[in-house]
Chains A and B, each alone.
Chain A
Amino acid sequence: MRLSEVADLLQCEVLLGEERLDSIEVRTCFAADLMSDVLRFSHSGALLITGLTSLQSIHTADVADLAAILFVSNKIPAQATIDLARAKQIPLLRTWRGMFDACGVIHCAGLPRAVEV
C-alpha cells in the first residue's frame, strides 16, 4: 500500500514529505508508544504508528529503517522533532483518529500484519 493511500484513508495532514508519499510503498505497520517495543519487534520498511512525538520517535524510525511516522490522536510534534525528521528524510503524517482506529482502517483496507520473526 502506498503511503499516499494511507494518508487518504486516514484523512491525514502531511507534516513532512508530501512529495514522496506516492513513491513509498508500505509493506506493514508497527503501532506502539513504546519505542523499546519498536526497536525490538519492528521490521525494516514498516510505517510507525505512534502517539509519541518526542525526538526519540524520529531516532527510532531512523535507526530501525522505518518508512515513515504516523502520529495519531491529532498529536502535534514540536518543531525540533519535525526538523530532525526533515534532516533524516522521514515523512511525517498526522491523523485525528486514535491508534486502534487508525490501525483498524488500514488493516481492513488490506495492509497485512508483519510476518513473525
Chain B
Amino acid sequence: MAAEATAPLLVERFAIQGGDYEHGGDAAARIKVIMRQLGIDPDLMRRLSIANFEAEMNLVMYAEEGVMEFQVHADALRVIVADRGPGIPDIELAMQEGWSTATPEMRARGFGAGLGLPNMKRNSDEFEISSTVGTGTTVRYAVHLA
C-alpha cells in the first residue's frame, strides 16, 4: 500500500485475547496514553481512541485472538487490527448501523448494538476492512495529522 510505503516513526503492538472482557479496553487505553505523551490534538486523540476501543471490543467479543498495531507516521496515526477468528461473511451488511450478531451476553456488557464498525469508520480519515470466513478479519484505519 502506498500509504505505508514510508517506515513509521513509532510502532507499538498489543496482543488481545478473545473473550477476555477483564482486559477489553486496555490496548485502547495504553495507546491513548502514548498519544497524550506525543501531544496529539485532543479531538484527534478522542476519535482514534474511540475507533481503537470499538475495534478492541469487537476482537474480544468475536475473535479468538489478535493484535492491535499502532503506528505513528509523520502525517498520520495508523492502526491495524488483525484477528484469527470466524471472519465476516457480508462486510457490506456488517457496516450498516444497527446490524449485529451480538449475543445477549455481549449486550449485557454494554456492546453489540451494531454500531462498532460504522463508528470506527466515522472516526477515521481512512478505513478499510478485509475478512476471510473461517480465518479472520483485518481492519486498517488512520487519522490524519494536521
Contacts from A to B (Cβ < 8 Å): 33-37, 39-40, 44, 52, 54-60, 62-65, 80, 88
Contacts from B to A (Cβ < 8 Å): 21-22, 24-25, 28-29, 32, 42-43, 46, 49-50, 52-54, 57, 107, 109-116, 119, 122
Q: A36-B116, A39-B50, A63-B50 are in contact. Are A56 and B42 (CB under 8 A)?
A: no
Q: A54-B21, A57-B110, A64-B46 are in contact. Are A39 and B54 (CB under 8 A)?
A: yes
What is the total of A-B residue contacts with beta carbons within 8 Å?
76
- Kindly identify which residue among B32, B111, B116, B119 contacts A56, using a CB–CB cutoff of 8 Å: B111
- In the complex the two chains form, is A54's CB within 8 Å of B52's CB? no
Chain A contacts for B42, CB-based, 8 A: 44, 65
- Chain A interface SS verdict (over half): helix
Chain A contacts for B114, CB-based, 8 A: 36
- In the complex the two chains form, is A56's CB within 8 Å of B28's CB? no
Query: In the complex, A44→B45 CA distance in Å?
Result: 11
